[in-house]
Amino acid sequence: MMKKLLLILASTFCININAQFKALIDFNGANGAYPRGSFIFDGTFLYGMTSSGGSKNNGVIFKIKPDGTECDGILDFNGTANGKWPLGSLFYDGTFLYGMTSSGGSNDNGVIFKIKPDGTEYTKLHDFSGNIGHPNGTLISDGTYLYGIARGFLGLAGGYGVIFKIKPDGTEYNVIFNFSSSNGFDPAVGNSLFYNGTCLYGVIEAGGTYNSGSIFKINTDGTEYSEIFSIPGTYNAALPQGALISDGVFLYGMSVQGGDHWIGNVFKIKPDGTNYTSLYDFGSNVNDGSTPVSDLILSGEFLYGMTSGGGTSGMGVIFKVKTDGTGYTKLHDFNGVSGYMPQGSLIYYNGCLFGMTSNGGAYSNGIAFSLCDDANNIDELIINDAHIKIYPNPTSDEFFIDAKTTDKLNVELYDINGRKVLSTKLCNREKINISTLNNGSYFLKIKVADYTINKKLVIIR
């Protein structure tokens, strides 16, 4: 079982308030509508899904380059055959994209699927059935199984929601845990799990000891489920949503209600359930955002995120705040034309943040956007590919960089969600161990003297 490296070794980027906002796609229905998830990145293309639109108005999978070029549809969902209305994001293992739809399939309860990035080899891995289905989050992997959460029909067996696992070939689907009225229910919109190499962590927006939601952990075999923190109704973190992230010491997340002003907050907590801290309460500053329903991303000392409401126009904001709760800065106000009500999360690449809004834009169907910091996005002189070799690539547990130089190499490795998972300085042809990382596509940023080059690395076992 592969364990994910959690240590963030240095700050990877810092977007300032003067960053330039750019709409990359105005969804017009034909090319998709109302995206509810986030992008992933394979080093060349950003991949995303919309919850409706396309030829059957059931949603699409699409890809686009970070500069806004080469936008192309990969799949139009059509209902029974391949699902409809995806509400989460994709997962990429270096060969296939994996995802879920909230409805459609043989039982209209949603499906689990995989598809190659070029749109070929679509495979339906599982049809949800009975009282289980309507997933609205994103799959994660421990290197062997995919894990996810599905909702259901309240009051019926399995209807409070379940945690499941399935192998990437579609075999060994198994419900490992059933939520209930006593241990928490109604997995939040966009709810996804977080895997720290040992346990799965997640949030529930209803139920728990105080019926205000809880943070839980569970073993990957479904044993030892426990609420590590049940939120009292009077506490300042009611109704947590989205997925948790980690810096190796704390878990970080957001709640849609609660905080000193009851319009949401950013919080952190240790994996054992201790040291809960509300880092920032929305409403503490004028027009600073409200009701976040997405995930955070972490870079060095800053957390970056979005809110679905609040801000100058009441349509949501992009913000950053330090992991100690200081330094809150609003980076962008959504205003309708620039989209509104983002429900996914941000990713980072090469000095820019990328994301989507579920509404707004020229056609009121949402947009895909970039937010780039001119101070950190100056065109860099790129070394020719002939001067830097990455081998073996694809790889399993280690790789080498041959840069044909005596200078030190500054190497940063990012996952498909734009999170830095490795940062190191090394001499030429030193071995870099990546045995703790999951299978998938990553991208390298290598700095040599005054030169920078970006490379793609694929881990396959």
> Token pair of 229, please?
């923190």
The yes-or-no verdict on residue 12 having pLDDT over 60 is no
Residue the block writes with tokens 């980027």: 13
pLDDT tens by residue, 112-165: 999 999 999 999 999 999 888 888 889 998 888 999 998 866 545 556 788 999
pLDDT of residue 410: 85
Per-residue pLDDT at 2? 32
Q: Which residues pair with 103 in a beta bridge?
A: 84
Query: Which residues partner with 91 through β-bridges?
Result: 98
Span 20-30, average pLDDT: 95
Reported confidence tier of residue 196, pLDDT bands at 50, 70, 90? confident
CA gap 337, 171 in Å, rounded: 45
Count CA atoms within 13 Å of residue 151 on its CB side: 22
Q: Tens of pLDDT along 334-374?
A: 999 999 999 989 998 877 899 999 999 999 999 999 998 75
Question: What is d(CA 293, CA 295) in angstroms, rounded to the nearest whole number?
Answer: 7
Measured CA to CA in angstroms, residue 225 lies from 100, 125, 163, 179 at distances of: 24, 26, 11, 10
Give the separation between CA 269 and CA 263, rounded to whole angstroms.
20
Give the pLDDT confidence score for residue 288 in this predicted structure.
95
% residues pLDDT > 90 (the chain) = 51
Query: What pLDDT score was predicted for residue 317?
Result: 97
**Percentage with pLDDT > 70 across the chain:** 85
What residue type is assigned to position 349 of the chain?
Y
* b/e 351-368 (16+ beta carbons within 10 angstroms → b): bbbbbbbbbbbeebbbbb
Domains of the chain: 20-376 (2.120.10.30), 385-459 (2.60.40.3080)
